Structure 1
């Protein structure tokens, strides 16, 4: 088996392999040359711009593709700074080659290369958490799916209005609200214009996909939602939001006010939000009408460069701690790291031969440094071993806001 990045003439085959593996029709009519030409000259998505960032496994003839994955470069937020991240997607193996180490081989080649390329984080949405944990990925955050009955609240006292975005109108306002919403949340993607859905042109009359921007009384954009009409029972509909974010709580209230305009024939509005945002206390009624909140994980994170993550992390107070990390895929991460921090920032991060205060695998390190757990839960995880109970764990591992909205 040969593992390498794809060549130009193999791009279309990647999409064919993915369609066969996931059993959905590939309706593309373009030739490989046409697909490559469009990606090079007029990329409309991040996947097109980075079309060559695909690792594949081939039979020994170096021609027959067995499976592949793409690794799309992003920039994400982490503790107040921005770092390179690789989004993993399209992970596909043709059925006849499954259980032959195809994806394992791709990861074993890809992860060390990510490190050499300066990547600090990698992220994916798993079909199996146990499978991807083998490669250092771990669940690191939660999101909440809200289903709010439109009878659960009345008009909120905000004075702005919602405006329909058509064509390319409001692209700058939408991007501004997204940046506000990102705030200090770890792992939120720093978006380019093409990362916003339908940024090339919105046609709600044709597509029945509706994007509204809430604009405050002073003209400041503060909320964005994109929704479709979903039938949930005969003559009963749901306003299903694929995008729902806001600059502040006025923006949140303004979006919900707009939903009331559909109350005659819509039963509820639904949307995803970060788990740390308190929506429950802002909706008056949760008992007499059916409102729901469903918690789900947001995907899996992996630290690709332990030293850079430790250098960029935000700490509480001052102290010194030795952290042992076991990373089977990236040897340069493996070992004990001595971290000195002062007034919330790392002053030194270096390898040491000292006995570690705490040890863990790269998967646990990846979620804990991102802020998945508070200190007490972090040090009691099954894969975490505390060797020095007096070490300043609370200064390093503590709960942080985490969310990600982009798919890949």
Structure 2
């Protein structure tokens, strides 16, 4: 029998060796130094066979924005096993350990970048976000004549990360699922590579957008294009167009609700839709207590039966009372009392509940697909109390 425990500092070389093999990157000295600077042994669960690391999963303590509210989030990353130890249920055990730690540390949600959506759905995670990937040739660039405001170029992230973060945090109000970033995240994650940094200031001198990008082989690759209003978006595009003597095309990503194809005179540029990160509610009771429901002015009560085979504390019937201000009280109904109320409750899996409350799917869609069952009027009434906002995720871990 193997042993599951946190890794030790002297085992970080084994972690990097497994990571470089599993994720197929060249572990040269610069990459190793960069990875080692980010690794914390206390964040890494390992499965050891006779003190040899054979499988691992990292748990990162992060925060995510949902309806303008900060939620404590456990980021699952670096899940890997040596091939000879795969398909033995080891990763399942590591995920179970990680979820238990998340609950203990009051991390109410968890997110990850899946190698397989089907694999992680088995354990309660569900799609959080999608994004559009644009490849736009120079001939499709918009025609922008007016010049409003100014741009300032920053050479070093040290000189501007707080400014970028200020703009970014205002941008997070538009979407559900964006990370709350700190200084380390900007330095170690956003700027793992060197980017050109341009900040847009409006005519009154207030910063309203920024562009992080690279130009190589006559193509501009935009890492982040963040804007607070349409005027700022237009001027960021003007900046891109100003590179037309150097580039033939630009590549960038955008939220699924981005209206660029409607804005451009010729919308026949290359667009891809991609599924991205996944999320699951770690603790139904705590998450719903913190969740900002719509303030209807009337007290509401709902009985919801949640199916969660991987986190038994979420599996069962919940009595949810939402006051006139959208604040919820919730408790899990005892097993003895469940049989009297379960037939009249709303039924859904932890995946469907996560998808609904994150904003990725509507209650109408879940009901039509048979992912949510029960009294139709109650289901739609519950859906009415959930604020509407598009999900989006820009980072990676």
Normalising by the residue count of structure 1, what TM-score does the alignment of the two structures yield?
0.86
- 5 Å-filtered alignment, 1:242-281, equals 242-281=223-262
Compared with structure 1, are the counterparts of its residues 111 and 201 closer, same or farther at alpha carbon in structure 2 (3 Å cutoff)?
closer
State the partner residue of 1:335: 316
- Listed as ranges, the gaps of 5+ residues in structure 1 are 232-236
Give yes or no for the alignment of 1:311 onto 2:292.
no
Deviations 1:29-75 (A, max 9, x none): 899xxx79x97xxx6xxx44x4420111111x2x1111101111111
Please tell me whether the aligned partners of residues 222 and 250 of structure 2 are also in contact (alpha carbons under 8 angstroms).
yes
**1:166 and 1:89, CA in 2 relative to 1: closer, same or farther beyond 3 A?**
same
In the TM superposition, residue 218 of structure 1 has moved relative to its aligned partner by: 1.8
RMSD, aligned α-carbons? 2.6
Alignment pair present for 1:90 and 2:91: no
Instruction: For residue 399 of structure 1, report the CA deviation from its aligned partner.
Output: 4.1
1:370 aligns with 2:358: yes
CA contact (8 A) 1:158 1:253 kept: no
- Distance in 1 (CA, whole Å) between partners of 2:210 and 2:332 is 46
Bigger Cα displacement from structure 2, 301-310 vs 188-197: 188-197
User: 2:376 pairs with 369, 389, 396, which one?
Assistant: 389
1:300 Cα deviation after fit: 0.5
Alpha-carbon shift at residue 343 of structure 1 (Å): 3.3
Secondary structure of residue in 2 paired with 1:14:
helix
Q: 2:187 & 2:198 partners in 1: Cα distance? A: 13
Contact 2:190 2:395 in 1 (8 A): no
Alignment-derived partner of residue 234 in structure 1: none
1:66 aligned residue (54, 59, 64)? 54
Matched residues in 1 for 2:191 and 2:387: separation? 42
Partners of 1:201 and 1:331 in 2: CA distance: 39
Alpha-carbon distance in structure 2 between the residues aligned to 1:186 and 1:140: 9
> Secondary structure of 2:288's match?
helix
Q: Per-residue CA shift, 1:161-201, capped at 9, x if unaligned?
A: 22221023222221111111111422211110122257999
Q: Measured at CA, do residues 11 and 314 of structure 1 come closer, stay the same or move farther in structure 2, by a change above 3 Å?
A: same
Task: Report whether the alignment pairs 1:292 with 2:270.
Answer: yes
Other-structure match for 2:126: 138
**Given the alignment of the two structures, is residue 117 of structure 1 paired with residue 105 of structure 2, yes or no?**
yes
In 1, Cα distance between equivalents of 2:370 and 2:376: 16
Deviations 1:75-131 (A, max 9, x none): 111222111101111111011111112211101111112111110111011110010
In structure 2, what is the Cα distance between the partners aligned to 1:218 and 1:210?
24
Give the drift of 1:271: 1.6
Please give the alpha-carbon distance, in whole angstroms, between the structure 2 residues aligned to 1:330 and 1:201. 36
**What residue in structure 1 maps to residue 203 of structure 2?**
217
Offset of residue 224 of structure 1: 1.4
Question: Which residue matches 2:160?
Answer: 170
Query: Mind listing any 5+ residue stretches in structure 2 that lack a counterpart?
Result: none
Instruction: Measure the CA separation in 2 of the matches of 1:240 and 1:30.
Output: 22
Q: Alpha carbons of 1:96 and 1:198: their partners in 2 closer, same or farther (altered >3 Å)?
A: closer
**Structure 1 residues 198 and 111, CA, compared in 2 at 3 Å: closer, same or farther?**
closer
Tell me what 2:389 maps to: 400
In structure 2, relative to structure 1, the CA distance for the partners of 1:389 and 1:275 (3 Å cut) is same
On the 8 A contact 1:358/1:388 being kept in 2, the answer is yes
